[in-house]
Amino acid sequence: MDNTIIQIALALGFAVAAVLVAYASWAAGRQMMARYRDSVLDSTSAQLSDLFIFMDGAKLQQISIVTTILFPLLAFVITRNMLVVVVTAAICLFGPTLAHKNLKKRRRKKLIHQLPDSLDSLVGALRSGMSVTQSMGLLAEQLPKPSNQEFALVVRKLRMGVGVDEVLTELEERVNSQEYTMFTTSMRIAREVGGNLTESLERLADTMRKKLAMEDKIQALTSQGKLQGLIVGSLPLFLMWVLNEMEPEAMAPLFNTWIGYGVLVVVFLLELVGFVLIRKIVLIDV
């Protein structure tokens, strides 16, 4: 009878402990999810709106949860390696931020390459007798994306009564490039000091074309160094894969022990340092 009471008490104790642990885990997970939503998802959703990509934060959260659960499970089923699962989960968690940075970089590059043609169109509209606001409205209708989006936003704000200086400052901050800074500076100088705006914009468009042509030439000349860095950086990973195929038993501790995980972390850090150094060598700012 006493043993039965003791067993029941132990069972109840374990049950209560399990419930408390489950509740604590649920509360901690909920708090972590709230912080993740506030720090990553909501900020990413707000930043995507600056790129004229409008996505609800709740929808972005659903996509992030599904990918964070699904892809690590697939990685575990395929590889049976916890390190790969952890890396996959980390990539999925910070995927929205990485995607936003990539989209912003690509959009900024398009804006810069489209700016000389945009200035030529603006010069043509001004010489036909249109005002600056009318000329920018014409650009918003005729230019390809994403330039038409930026000029359409500028025109809407001007028509709402926002000051020209404020609108130009916001455009400069959104794009964050030297080319658009030169464009907004030319517009301010022509507005405050006077002078022939069309000639200034025409010279600016010609200067930008020469600058972009030089950047493309430098990129072509440094592409060989980038390729060499990629090949040299990939060689250790390729040799690791070859050795794993040839001697799986000898390579097994590298993927199944904590010492092996530490070695992989060191290899990853060294690869990262090499990648950063090579990038600094071949990256030339015009």
Average pLDDT on 198-213 reads 88
Nearest to 232 by CA among 185, 275, 283: 275
Confidence of residue 51 (pLDDT cuts 50, 70, 90): low
Q: How far apart are CA 98 and CA 57, in angstroms?
A: 16
Average pLDDT on 164-176 reads 85
Average pLDDT on 178-185 reads 88
Q: Which CATH number fits domain 110-208: 3.30.70, 1.20.81, 2.170.120, 1.10.10?
A: 1.20.81
H helix or E strand, kind and range, residue 197: helix 197-246
Q: How far apart are CA 244 and CA 8, in angstroms?
A: 52
Nearest to 255 by CA among 17, 82, 98: 82
Cα–Cα distances in Å, from 21 out to 14, 27, 253, 278?
10, 10, 33, 48
Task: Give me 177's structure tokens.
Answer: 């490039």
- Tokens 């600016």 found at: 204
Instruction: Provide the CA 264 distance to its chain's centre, in angstroms.
Output: 26
Per-residue burial over 35-63, b = 16 or more CB atoms within 10 Å of its CB, e = otherwise: ebbeebbeebbebbeebeeeeebeebbee
Task: Give me 214's structure tokens.
Answer: 């030089």
Average pLDDT on 212-216 reads 85
Half-sphere CA count of 197, side-chain side, radius 13 A:
24
- Please tell me the pTM assigned to this model: 0.63
Domain boundaries, the chain: 110-208, 215-282
Checking if the pLDDT of 61 tops 60, the result is yes
255-256-261 Cα angle (round to 5): 60
Confidence of residue 2 (pLDDT cuts 50, 70, 90): low
Over the stretch 91-102, which tens digit does the pLDDT of each residue have?
A: 777 776 777 777
Nearest to 41 by CA among 105, 100, 129, 115: 100
Q: Give the contacts of 207 (CB within 8 A, at least 6 positions apart).
A: 182
75-78-84 Cα angle (round to 5): 40
Over the stretch 228-272, which tens digit does the pLDDT of each residue have?
A: 777 877 888 888 888 888 888 888 887 788 888 888 888 888 888
